[in-house]
Amino acid sequence: MIERILPPPVRSAHALDDPSDAPLFPGEAELVATAVAKRRAEFTTVRHCARTALAELGIPPGPILRGERGAPIWPRGIVGSLTHCAGYRAAAVARDTEVTGIGVDAEVHGPLPDGVLDLVSLPEERDHLAALAAKHPETWWERLLFSAKESVYKVWFPRTGEWLGFEEATLTFTPDTGEFTARLLRPGPFGTLTGRFLVADGIVLTAIVL
């Protein structure tokens, strides 16, 4: 599914459930040694997806560990991003000679928990979501906003090594093209980022490819 919003240099793989025979590689098991079963399962499956996608680039299977603040550590010459939510796991990778950053995020399509929208959006974004909802009431735009901001963070952090708050980018969605733009309100390497979104089979997907 996620391949529908990724350009050709990016290879991806996804899973709708957790294969029982997906292995963990050296160093990975320690990262989830004390985790609950659900966390171990998503961690294992998304790495299985990543190794599948990396194989398409000719990269042999190896561990995908967690670096600073949880960002995945990719083989030399590779950029990528991982995501998991109930019923969906996905990995997207590319060679760094073709793509300089990737952020992908999946969420279950539905409303945000009470009170969360106010924490993750700016007033102008809430106005924008209301206008979108008036035209496209079948879509939970607040969930798309949340997902797109997570994708922004997943390209921002590996480049800067810095935190980015939800109030530090303002997003706009264009339903006709399936694109969104994120205007960064904090000085840094990006002025505006463009991404793509998709809602299908009960899942919200967003992706930014640099």
Ligand X SMILES: CC(C)(COP(=O)(O)OP(=O)(O)OC[C@H]1O[C@@H](n2cnc3c(N)ncnc32)[C@H](O)[C@@H]1OP(=O)(O)O)[C@@H](O)C(=O)NCCC(=O)NCCS
Residue numbers of the site for ligand X (CB under 6 A)? 43, 46, 66, 69-72, 82-84, 105, 149-150, 152-154, 157-158, 164, 166, 168-169
Q: What distance in Å separates the CA atoms of residue 76 and residue 181, rounded to the nearest whole number? A: 29
Which one, 123 or 137, has the nearer CB to ligand X? 123
**From the CB of 6, what's the least distance to ligand X, in Å?**
15
**From the CB of 183, what's the least distance to ligand X, in Å?**
10
Q: Token pair of 58, please? A: 């000719």
65, 25 Cβ separation under 8 angstroms: no
Distance of CA 151 to the CA centre of its chain: 5
Q: Write down the number of H helices and E strands in the chain.
A: 5, 8
Please provide residue 87's backbone torsions phi and psi, each rounded to the nearest 5 degrees: 85, 5
Q: Residue with the closest Cβ to ligand X?
A: 70
Which one, 90 or 132, has the nearer CB to ligand X? 90
Sign of the alpha-carbon torsion through 70, 74, 76, 77: negative
Which one, 158 or 195, has the nearer CB to ligand X? 158
Which one, 140 or 157, has the nearer CB to ligand X? 157
**From the CB of 133, what's the least distance to ligand X, in Å?**
21
